[in-house]
Structure 1
Amino acid sequence: MKKIGIVATLILLSIGLVFTSAAAQTDPETEETKEVKLTDEQKNELAKLYGEAFEKKKEIISKYVEYGVFSEEKGDKLVEHIESHYKKLEENNYIPKYGQHKHHHEKGKQ
């Protein structure tokens, strides 16, 4: 009897997660884009935070390479991707531009 209760609970949670994630997704083409201009102070603060976050990510990748989870080549590619992302953020004045390109993992699908 407990198994049925657990299974029913898991099913209800799964259904709830599906509806929640579907509701949270928006169509980037129909979503209004608000043009925001950040002040230099705001950009500097975001630059500092992103810089710290990316340095921490690179440190984590380095540990994975050290522990043998990633090859050195894979670690280098991940770091290169992080640096590319940071450069794009800089170019966009630290305003993320989501939904304006296909993700790299979607290439080749169709």
Structure 2
Amino acid sequence: VKLTTEQQKQIEKLEQQILSKRKEVIEKYVQYGVLTKEQGTHITKRMDEHYNHLKNNGFVPLLKKPQHHRP
């Protein structure tokens, strides 16, 4: 599946908003002492990597093929 440029722009805008809000939540966890500053930094770094991966793939998530369980 390939998205049009307009579709990619719309998804990018939404993904940026989601990323920003998720980072706000992580910052609050750090502020409240639930996470250390290092943990918060690590998590937000991984979030940025995930966003960049999505962007590089045209905002089409890579869906894993279903795994068949053998009896």
Q: What does the per-residue CA deviation read over 1:40-66, in whole Å, with 9 as the maximum and x for residues that have no partner?
A: 110000000000000000000000000
State yes or no: 1:42 paired with 2:7: yes
Report what 2:41 is aligned to.
Answer: 76
C-alpha RMSD of the superposition? 1.1
Structure 1: runs of 5+ lacking an equivalent: 1-35, 101-110
Number of equivalenced pairs: 65
TM-score for both structures, normalised by structure 1? 0.57
Structure 2: runs of 5+ lacking an equivalent: 66-71
2:23 aligned to which of 58, 65, 82: 58
TM-score for both structures, normalised by structure 2? 0.88
Structure scoring higher RCO (CA < 8 A, sep ≥ 6) equals 2
State the identity %: 38
Which portions of structure 1, spanning 4 or more consecutive aligned residues, are displaced by more than 4 angstroms?
none
Report what 2:69 is aligned to.
Answer: none
